[in-house]
Amino acid sequence: MTKIKFPSAYTILMILTVLMAAMTWVIPAGQYQMEKNETLGRMVPQVGSYQTVEANPQGIVEVLMAPIQGFYDPSSYAARAVDVALFVLVIGGFLAVVTRTGAIDAGIAGTMKRLGGREKWMIPILMGLFAMGGTVYGMAEETIPFYALLIPVMIAAGYDSIVGVAIIMVGAGIGCLGSTINPFATVIASNAAEINFMEGIILRAIILALGWIVCVVYVMRYADKVKHDPSASIVAHQKDDNERHFLHSKEQQAPELTGTRKTVLAIFGLTFAVMMWGVSVAGWWMAELSALFIGSSIIVGFVGRLSEVEITDSFVDGARDLLGVALIIAIARGLVVVMDNGNITHTILNYAEGLLGGLHEIAFINAIYWIEAVLCLVVPSSSGLAVLSMPVLAPLADFAGVGRELVVTAFQSASGLPNLVTPTSGVVMGGLAIGRVAYSSWLKFIGPLIGILSVMVMALLSLGVVLG
């Protein structure tokens, strides 16, 4: 009997793009009237202003154009995902140059020797660090460089690639889901809801703390199971292949951790520290970060005593290895472009507005959570979804007798979900591609955790309504 193989990430995204294009022929086109919000500096929809507009159904040409439009807008040449895709290619080149010096292999071997069986305690520590990045500034695209660094360490420790992916993706994801002061989600959503972003912060901090504990326990239990029985791994069939890919050759003698290689690792770590500072303090984004990693690649090459040919060849080869990841990010963004161009994004939001009328307080806030959860699957940008949905949904809380801060909390909890599972998120699909984890395998791992987190969030939102 032939085993049915789950399609690749590229195929999944293209199928979703075709389905979304088909929906533009069925779902009525509509738009809210937009007005400039001076506080946000953006156009936001006016409550009750939705009206139907002329349909703009998306056909085969638009579907084929979607991946290109995911990179940039061909009309205005404005960037969409091209900056993130380029950043991924640069990261691939940087990691390859560092790897060429032998520093990463030597560092992994040294780390395993020092930990001596205590590797599992890296899981809560690292997940805590990624969660802090998520809750403070919505760490998402910035996690991409860490996959190639952390996954080999986890595999060398006797775990699998899913553990490495989960530490990063679930760690940063629970931070975003429990955003306390994230300016790209909580602050923008609070401003759009016309409240102070500090309102509701205690409940959000509780969601963050409990969510982190749940996620750490979940990942550590899976890691322990894989450690004691490698056949229990969801990706057990890839064990040998992953060891060859991530560890290069487990039979090969690990290179010595010389003073030069220690210096390379110090530059490596400093580069990531500068990246974190640049994003959180200096206002850097993809262009500046790409320049940072290009500069670090050159410095690492010289310090590691590589020739000019070795530096350039390694960089190009590394970028080539992550080309597929860059394409996935663009295809995912192109799917959202098809929705927007087909004028159905606002229609879906209007349907959500109609569903909320007359609901009981607890039912209302949980309905908000699930509506935002559905919307974030098609609008994976947390800031974009905040600007789009909050001006419409937050005022409805006044009629339902629910505080607007709870609507913001429901939004930010739901908007954290794309960082864990949605196939329209380039961060999710890109991380899985680097970790060589099939989307079907990831769903098998993350599905129960999504259910647990959703029940926890709904219970806490309901408690927030009861306590007023």
With respect to residue 103, please indicate whether it lies within any of the assigned structural domains: yes
Question: 343: which 2 tokens?
Answer: 């004028």
With respect to residue 8, please indicate whether it lies within any of the assigned structural domains: no
pLDDT at 39: 60
Question: Which residues form the domain of 160?
Answer: 80-467
Element (H, E) at 30: strand 30-31
Question: With 80 as the cut, is the pLDDT of residue 237 above it?
Answer: yes
With respect to residue 40, please indicate whether it lies within any of the assigned structural domains: no
Instruction: Count CA atoms within 13 Å of residue 321 on its CB side.
Output: 20
pLDDT at 411: 93
Tokens 């292949």 map to which residue?
A: 241
Question: With 70 as the cut, is the pLDDT of residue 9 above it?
Answer: no
With respect to residue 66, please indicate whether it lies within any of the assigned structural domains: no
**What is the average pLDDT across 422-442?**
87
pLDDT at 120: 83
Tallying the residues shown for the chain, one arrives at: 468
Encode pLDDT of 144-185 as tens digits.
878 887 898 899 888 999 999 999 999 999 999 998 888 778
Encode pLDDT of 15-37 as tens digits.
888 998 999 999 999 988 887 76
pLDDT category, 116, cuts 50, 70, 90?
low
**What is the average pLDDT across 90-98?**
88
pLDDT category, 4, cuts 50, 70, 90?
low
Q: How many CB atoms lie within 10 A of CB 317?
A: 15
Let me know: does 55 contact 370? Beta carbons within 8 Å.
no
pLDDT category, 252, cuts 50, 70, 90?
low
**What is the average pLDDT across 352-356?**
77
pLDDT category, 228, cuts 50, 70, 90?
very high
Question: With 90 as the cut, is the pLDDT of residue 268 above it?
Answer: no
pLDDT at 278: 85
Query: In percent, how much of the chain has pLDDT > 70?
Result: 91
With respect to residue 43, please indicate whether it lies within any of the assigned structural domains: no
Instruction: Provide the mean pLDDT of the chain.
Output: 85
pLDDT at 108: 67
pLDDT category, 6, cuts 50, 70, 90?
low
With respect to residue 243, please indicate whether it lies within any of the assigned structural domains: yes
pLDDT at 112: 62
Question: With 90 as the cut, is the pLDDT of residue 314 above it?
Answer: yes
Question: With 60 as the cut, is the pLDDT of residue 251 above it?
Answer: no
pLDDT at 250: 47
More confident: 128 or 392: 128
Question: With 80 as the cut, is the pLDDT of residue 111 above it?
Answer: no
Torsion of CA 89, 266, 269, 313, to 10 degrees: 10
| Closest of 353, 280, 312 to residue 47, by C-alpha | 353
With respect to residue 25, please indicate whether it lies within any of the assigned structural domains: no
Domain total of the chain: 1
Does the CA dihedral 441-442-448-451 come out positive or negative?
Answer: negative
pLDDT at 356: 80
Provide the H-helix boundaries in 200-307: 201-228, 239-247, 259-280, 286-303
**What is the average pLDDT across 133-140?**
80
pLDDT at 22: 95
Let me know: does 97 contact 302? Beta carbons within 8 Å.
no
With respect to residue 28, please indicate whether it lies within any of the assigned structural domains: no
Query: In percent, how much of the chain has pLDDT > 90?
Result: 39
Question: CA–CA separation, 300 vs 258, rounded Å?
Answer: 14
SS3 34: strand
pLDDT category, 1, cuts 50, 70, 90?
very low
Encode pLDDT of 46-89 as tens digits.
767 889 999 999 999 999 999 899 898 998 988 888 887 888 88
